[in-house]
Structure 1
């Protein structure tokens, strides 16, 4: 076993043990309340929220995908950053969701969608849609870790053993600490991941080029393909308007409605969180994206040329072959940090929807039965184990169809609730009929455009066309139907009054949907 493999296994092992201990240390603190387990008592600080949100977007697939894709397709791939849109979304959309969460006790994306559109059926549909994407997506994070460790250590770390280890880390961490443990560890992972990434960038440049980035540019400019990928005349790939739109929508703008990011709109400590997120999150995105794209568009072509056949593993390859063992080992830890942060955040969001929005709500709450908080947390922990077993089955068999649909459809399907979310927060005429029509039609368009039609009009992706059809039908059908006045008052007018009057959010706390004089499910039953 070589020194790199020893260091890589040792670092990841220590990291995993640390995560398990940190998660289980919070077991007692999170056992008595779903508010604590799901939302960290709505008390996550500004710095933690920025770090947790940023690193949760950057999965193991980003660690592999962004450098390899920018290497093959060009610098236009950085359009996926869309950082300023994300910051604005949290400042505007996230803040309104936070106010509603404080007033009505919202925990999951389904809480808002079901209540705003006064439809239990729509809530169930959205929950099933999201959970169906979460399970294989988290499984992909495990596959990424297993493959990365196995390839990087040249077979010394068996694929399935690494996967089982990563699965145990995620499971015990979420099982024990809930959102409190996840948010804390995300902050650590963000610092670790960003620091490691930039150390790798600096080492690759300093160690292999005499003259810094000028020498890097001089090494690649004579290669027509690499030079074109920098944006020179004749550039290919994503360096075009349609490509920029497609990538920005998929990888950044729509992330506000990914279930684990959506839920983060509820956990902030105060209004200040969202003011800082407006500029802090773009900086966080920039710190990660710029490093990954720099590797893909400059450093990798300068070292390998434009015809490298193992582009999908370009970062581990560069770290293993062009950096010292200690740096290569820490770079592998960066993959762990990205993949595990996204995996456990997705898992927590999925278990919350399965337990709270499906099992508890339809088995107890809608039948007028009370639910003990300790039992609710215990049931959630059972679901964590069940979902991890389902993910392990996918990882074990690696069915091509499931892996393919998870990668291609996860973000687009999550994004299909975006028109309903934005319309539900700002448009008083938005109705449940409009939400149903838009969401279902959008999913159909995405599915057809992904698997059955290879070339779509204007060069836009299936996701882009799905959003367009979704939004149009949402508006048209909503205009043809009527939203109840009570719904408009509860979810739009009251929030607008709070914002315009500058009302302190503490006057809102204490009200919940169940204590409200008007319950959306009662209207839906009429």
Structure 2
């Protein structure tokens, strides 16, 4: 049999393994929405590190980032500066984890709705997050489909590969929820790191045996068409300080308030987990990105030369045409690992928001009725299938570069909950009216500068939207009255727990959680 056939068999076996891993927990996770959406809040430090890191990386890191660096230069690496804001995951995440244990929060909407005592604001955030999860999930499927078709020489067509990835992602989540997602992410994290090391090592030793990466860099500098890749702001001038600022902010937003990362702040087993994350998460980001940047900035231009037409395919080309079949196969699995891990995490977030914060909240809780936990999980699973259909529409249209799905759509819109999130955790003056004003103005500016007119002075829509959002949030909060109850519950109470070094016991957790789920007024 040909190499492509063996690769196809390997992909199918790997897909079956992922499906089995998810579906074996189907009955267990059907009993409790807490188990399905938050893994019973018992994830250990290594698994939390792995699931958080690989969910941030996604197929964008393995597939899109090297292409963007090859296309626009080393300045694109600036987004890793934002990822070092993984420290913010610890600072913000620890406070959210305490609130999650005290009040039963599972989603970003849980916290924001309760902090600002507003059902309307919670509904607004729910719609925005679900709507812009779809293009980012689509990016994962597009990357998997493109790479699979290229790696197998078209024997496994794009649309078939996308269909396989869709089935794998959907039923892996439907079966095991957050437990399956988090533990599979740990395996994928190790697979991804190992693959990057093997690919970079092989290409370097094979094509630059005399001087390694130094030899590759010398070759790039000697070619005028390639030299711009290693310069700042790059061959297209895209990543000057203004473009880099946007990239840094995007990376920071992605590591803190993207919905699937936000939800991971609730699932840690204990506070010691966050101490481990404070050094391990930024280190993981920088370590993995080192190999990704080497591929995009050094190996790809030195081996492929200038003028690659489909830049999004450079990793697939390097791993199939310039490496042996085994490396081609594990590189494809690495892409599956990165893409599937992020897709299932985001879809699980959308499912949790749609089922808990829209359906259950408005159909049951606000009417004074209790929702059976099994029904919540059932509705979440049905919603997952519906969301996958919507995602496939975007995949079929395939309207932009892969990185555009993340940085021109999803990230700027997700970012508009950042000021209200941070302000709600640390600033006692933050008000419901301020949260509304900041988020709505931020969404308006993002929409305006993304779809209708070019943003002024060379700054991205994300920069302008966050600036306007913060000004509106702070300004309106200063002229409106904050809720003393909210300040005591969500800031003073958390400060006292942190300063005292204590945690709530499970009985009190349960009581406060049930009280918190009662209907709240606008």
8 Å CA contact 2:139–2:402 kept in 1: the answer is no
8 Å CA contact 1:138–1:346 kept in 2: the answer is yes
Residue 209 of structure 1 corresponds to which residue in structure 2?
Answer: 208
Report whether the alignment pairs 1:424 with 2:424: yes
Residue 318 of structure 1 corresponds to which residue in structure 2?
Answer: 318
Provide Cα deviations, 1:274-295, integer angstroms capped at 9, x if missing partner: 1111111111111221111111
Where 2:176 maps in the other structure, the secondary structure is helix
Residue 156 of structure 2 corresponds to which residue in structure 1?
Answer: 157
8 Å CA contact 1:7–1:325 kept in 2: the answer is no
Provide Cα deviations, 1:55-108, integer angstroms capped at 9, x if missing partner: 001122332211011112221211111266433212210000000000000000
Instruction: Find the aligned partners of 1:297 and 1:404 in 2 and give their Cα distance.
Output: 19
**Which segment is superposed worse, 102-111 or 495-504?**
495-504
Residue 16 of structure 1 corresponds to which residue in structure 2?
Answer: 15
Report the CA distance between 1:271 and its aligned residue. Answer: 0.6
Report whether the alignment pairs 1:71 with 2:74: no
Instruction: Find the aligned partners of 2:503 and 2:287 in 1 and give their Cα distance.
Output: 34
Instruction: Find the aligned partners of 2:406 and 2:127 in 1 and give their Cα distance.
Output: 14
Provide Cα deviations, 1:199-253, integer angstroms capped at 9, x if missing partner: 1011111111122122212221212353343237987635532122111111334
8 Å CA contact 2:368–2:519 kept in 1: the answer is no
Instruction: Find the aligned partners of 1:407 and 1:461 in 2 and give their Cα distance.
Output: 10
8 Å CA contact 2:126–2:357 kept in 1: the answer is yes
Provide Cα deviations, 1:126-185, integer angstroms capped at 9, x if missing partner: 000010111232123212211221122221102221111111111111011000000000
Which structure 2 residues correspond to residues 161-310 of structure 1 after superposition, within 5 A?
Answer: 161-211=160-210, 212-231=212-231, 237=237, 239-310=239-310
Using the size of structure 1 for normalisation, the TM-score is 0.94
Which structure 2 residues correspond to residues 467-506 of structure 1 after superposition, within 5 A?
Answer: 467-506=466-505
Where 1:252 maps in the other structure, the secondary structure is helix
8 Å CA contact 2:64–2:402 kept in 1: the answer is no
Instruction: Find the aligned partners of 2:401 and 2:231 in 1 and give their Cα distance.
Output: 35
Residue 93 of structure 1 corresponds to which residue in structure 2?
Answer: 92
8 Å CA contact 1:134–1:346 kept in 2: the answer is yes
Instruction: Find the aligned partners of 1:304 and 1:143 in 2 and give their Cα distance.
Output: 23
Residue 55 of structure 1 corresponds to which residue in structure 2?
Answer: 54
Instruction: Find the aligned partners of 1:27 and 1:238 in 2 and give their Cα distance.
Output: 47
Instruction: Find the aligned partners of 2:433 and 2:401 in 1 and give their Cα distance.
Output: 32
**Which segment is superposed worse, 83-92 or 11-20?**
83-92
Residue 522 of structure 1 corresponds to which residue in structure 2?
Answer: 520
8 Å CA contact 2:119–2:520 kept in 1: the answer is no
8 Å CA contact 1:254–1:418 kept in 2: the answer is no
The alignment of Structure 1 onto Structure 2 pairs a total of residues equal to 520
Instruction: Find the aligned partners of 2:234 and 2:348 in 1 and give their Cα distance.
Output: 45
8 Å CA contact 1:87–1:280 kept in 2: the answer is no
8 Å CA contact 1:86–1:281 kept in 2: the answer is no
Where 1:370 maps in the other structure, the secondary structure is coil
Task: Give the gaps of 5 or more residues in structure 2.
Answer: none
1:399–1:449 distance in 2 versus 1, CA, 3 Å: closer
Instruction: Find the aligned partners of 1:155 and 1:254 in 2 and give their Cα distance.
Output: 34
Residue 446 of structure 1 corresponds to which residue in structure 2?
Answer: 446
Instruction: Find the aligned partners of 1:346 and 1:71 in 2 and give their Cα distance.
Output: 28
Instruction: Find the aligned partners of 2:221 and 2:176 in 1 and give their Cα distance.
Output: 50
Where 1:59 maps in the other structure, the secondary structure is helix
8 Å CA contact 1:83–1:281 kept in 2: the answer is no
Residue 80 of structure 2 corresponds to which residue in structure 1?
Answer: 81
Instruction: Find the aligned partners of 1:322 and 1:403 in 2 and give their Cα distance.
Output: 24
1:286–1:90 distance in 2 versus 1, CA, 3 Å: same
Instruction: Find the aligned partners of 1:336 and 1:14 in 2 and give their Cα distance.
Output: 13
Residue 350 of structure 1 corresponds to which residue in structure 2?
Answer: 350
8 Å CA contact 1:60–1:338 kept in 2: the answer is yes
Report the CA distance between 1:254 and its aligned residue. Answer: 4.0
Residue 136 of structure 2 corresponds to which residue in structure 1?
Answer: 137
8 Å CA contact 1:93–1:422 kept in 2: the answer is yes
1:280–1:316 distance in 2 versus 1, CA, 3 Å: same
Instruction: Find the aligned partners of 1:465 and 1:521 in 2 and give their Cα distance.
Output: 35
Where 2:29 maps in the other structure, the secondary structure is coil
Instruction: Find the aligned partners of 2:10 and 2:396 in 1 and give their Cα distance.
Output: 25
**Which segment is superposed worse, 223-232 or 105-114?**
223-232
Where 1:266 maps in the other structure, the secondary structure is coil
**Which segment is superposed worse, 360-369 or 136-145?**
136-145
Residue 330 of structure 1 corresponds to which residue in structure 2?
Answer: 330
8 Å CA contact 2:138–2:395 kept in 1: the answer is yes
Where 1:14 maps in the other structure, the secondary structure is helix
8 Å CA contact 2:136–2:405 kept in 1: the answer is no
CA RMSD, Structure 1 to Structure 2 (Å): 2.2
Using the size of structure 2 for normalisation, the TM-score is 0.95
Instruction: Find the aligned partners of 1:77 and 1:403 in 2 and give their Cα distance.
Output: 11
Report the CA distance between 1:395 and its aligned residue. Answer: 3.0
Instruction: Find the aligned partners of 2:400 and 2:316 in 1 and give their Cα distance.
Output: 23
Task: Give the gaps of 5 or more residues in structure 1.
Answer: none
1:235–1:146 distance in 2 versus 1, CA, 3 Å: closer
8 Å CA contact 2:56–2:254 kept in 1: the answer is no
Provide Cα deviations, 1:293-333, integer angstroms capped at 9, x if missing partner: 11111111111223322322110011111111111111111
